């Protein structure tokens, strides 16, 4: 299945892309994707457990499973206002 | 009336305040967040705000809907900038109206605190000698 990954702010700079399409297997979790991304983009390691995730614009946990056509967003703790 | 805006243009605070409230409201409370000229001992020139706009709009709407229901507000407007915001400029304005001041004060405090915790917007501070992403609440 195909998913979209979006990265924001310091995470965007760490991975070097804003948006990317990935072909992944059924049942893949956010955690699996982050694990893969950390291998290909070592600067992601510095975020440790602070990363936040959203699937289709709703916050989700690392254990959440993705479905075909989902958009996963990965970002650091927010700092608006 | 509820209005939520994410915009690159400067905020017209006087207009937002003037348009807030209905004839049934005895109180309009507004909060303006501005860019300071200093942060952690450094001289700040400006801040760049980055937003996950689609999700930020949804989150802002959720927060405002909650506040409207909980404090029986008659109107609530939130405007948040993205892109570069210079020192002294407003990065955010929140204006809430209610029949009495207590509800309006509490609602605005709740809204700004919850925005800082939950809405996917990030600031990158630019100094006279470099820049830095701000991750999480200050």
Kindly determine whether residue A9 and residue B54, on different chains, have CB atoms separated by under 8 Å. Answer: no
Please give the ipTM for the structure prediction. 0.95
Res B60: pLDDT: 98
- Indicate the helix (H) or strand (E) that contains A35: helix A30-40
Kindly determine whether residue B52 and residue A10, on different chains, have CB atoms separated by under 8 Å. Answer: no
State yes or no: pLDDT of B3 exceeds 90: yes
Write the pLDDT tens digit of every residue in A18-45.
Answer: 999 999 999 999 999 999 999 999 999 9
DSSP secondary-structure letter at A30?
A: H
Kindly determine whether residue A9 and residue B50, on different chains, have CB atoms separated by under 8 Å. Answer: yes
Lookup result for tokens 């630019």: B126
Q: Is B117 left (phi over 0), alpha (psi -120 to 50) or beta?
A: alpha
Write the pLDDT tens digit of every residue in B110-136.
Answer: 999 999 999 999 999 999 999 999 988
Res B137: pLDDT: 66
Write the pLDDT tens digit of every residue in B53-112.
Answer: 999 999 999 999 999 999 999 999 999 999 999 999 999 999 999 999 999 999 999 999
Percent of chain A clearing pLDDT 90 (strictly above): 98
What are the chain B neighbours of A52 within 8 Å (beta carbons)? Answer: 120
* pLDDT mean over B25-40: 97
What is the distance between the alpha carbons of residues A55 and A71, in angstroms, rounded to a whole number? 6
CB contact at 8 A, B102 and A65: no
Q: Which pTM was predicted?
A: 0.96
What are the chain B neighbours of A7 within 8 Å (beta carbons)? Answer: none
A10 touches chain B (CB under 8 A): yes
């Amino acid at each position: 299945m195909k998913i979209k990954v979006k990265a924001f702010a310091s995470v965007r700079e760490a991975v070097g892309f804003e948006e990317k399409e990935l072909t992944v297997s059924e049942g893949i979790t956010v955690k699996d994707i982050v694990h893969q991304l950390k291998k290909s983009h070592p600067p992601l390691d510095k975020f440790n457990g602070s990363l936040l995730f959203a699937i289709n614009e709703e916050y989700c946990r690392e254990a959440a499973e993705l479905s075909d056509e989902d958009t996963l967003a990965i970002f650091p703790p927010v700092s608006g206002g | 009336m509820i209005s939520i805006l994410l915009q690159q243009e400067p905020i017209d605070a006087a207009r937002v305040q003037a348009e807030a409230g209905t004839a049934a409201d005895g109180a309009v409370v507004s909060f303006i967040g501005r860019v300071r000229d200093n942060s952690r001992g450094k001289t700040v020139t400006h801040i760049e705000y980055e937003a996950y706009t689609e999700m930020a709009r949804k989150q802002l709407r959720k927060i405002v809907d909650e506040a409207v229901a909980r404090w029986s507000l008659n109107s609530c407007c939130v405007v948040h900038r993205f892109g570069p915001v210079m020192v002294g400029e407003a990065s955010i304005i929140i204006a809430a109206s209610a029949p009495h001041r207590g509800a309006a004060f509490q609602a605005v405090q709740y809204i700004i605190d919850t925005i800082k915790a939950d809405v996917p917007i990030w600031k990158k501070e630019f100094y006279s000698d470099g820049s830095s992403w701000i991750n999480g609440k200050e």
